């Protein structure tokens, strides 16, 4: 069971903050963009032939970020578990956005999976499962960010790169990390070997 009821948590945020960074539980658009820039840095230079699945896509802001840079993946697919976000992301991106639960539903295969923030309200076991499911559905790799720290009883899930390395040791993956771009945040690139 998640730390919070994901559907209620995000519906409340959307009702109070609208289709904004705060509406998807980010402190600001600037911190959201900082995270997107790090994720983008782990992707290949040319996205035009790649299929990218945005797991926990929220309002489709990562797609908007890429478009603002004049970049378009060969195919962008968003997935989210919160229906109002799926509807808003469809409108905002014009892309296929599916109502799926990464933890329980079959996932489409893609070159890369990316995730920004969607694991922050999960339990540790759910976070491990989310990472594994997205990685297994990827052809080249899974890129994601997490909140940095030792886990507590707060609403948010805190992790360390060392924990993620332990959780993913059984996967055929090379792990790279980035930090220092924001306090209490880190990004992981799990790339398939070979």
**Three-point CA angle 43, 178, 4, nearest 5°:** 95
Residue 7's pLDDT is 60
Q: Are 189 and 176 spatial neighbours (Cβ–Cβ below 8 Å)?
A: yes
Whether the model pTM is above 0.85: yes
Show pLDDT as tens, one digit a residue, over the chain (194 residues): 444 556 665 555 556 565 555 554 556 678 999 999 999 999 999 999 999 999 999 999 999 999 999 999 999 999 999 999 999 999 999 999 999 999 999 999 999 999 999 998 888 899 999 999 999 999 999 999 999 987 665 667 889 999 999 999 999 999 999 999 999 999 999 999 97
The range of the structural domain enclosing residue 159 comes to 6-192
Residue 68 belongs to a domain: yes
Residue 1 belongs to a domain: no
How far apart, in whole angstroms, are the C-alpha atoms of residue 12 and residue 92? 20
User: Residue 98's domain is classified under what CATH number?
Assistant: 3.40.50.150
Please state the domain count of the chain: 1
């Amino acid at each position: 069971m998640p730390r919070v009821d994901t559907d209620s948590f995000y519906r409340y945020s959307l009702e109070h903050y609208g289709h904004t960074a705060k509406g998807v539980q980010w402190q600001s658009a600037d911190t959201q963009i900082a995270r997107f820039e790090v994720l983008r840095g782990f992707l290949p230079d040319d996205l035009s032939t790649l299929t990218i699945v945005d797991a926990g896509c929220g309002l489709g802001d990562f797609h908007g970020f890429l478009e603002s840079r004049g970049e378009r993946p060969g195919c962008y697919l968003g997935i989210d578990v919160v229906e109002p976000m799926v509807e808003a992301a469809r409108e905002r991106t014009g892309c296929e956005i599916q109502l799926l639960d990464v933890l329980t539903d079959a996932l489409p295969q893609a070159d890369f999976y990316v995730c920004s923030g969607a694991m922050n309200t999960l339990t540790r076991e759910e976070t491990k499962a989310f990472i594994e499911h997205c990685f297994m559905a990827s052809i080249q790799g899974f890129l994601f960010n997490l909140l940095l720290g030792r886990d507590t009883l707060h609403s948010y899930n805190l992790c360390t790169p060392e924990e993620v390395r332990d959780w993913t040791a059984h996967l055929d993956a090379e792990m790279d990390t980035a930090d220092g771009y924001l306090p209490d945040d880190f990004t992981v690139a799990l790339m398939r070997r070979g």
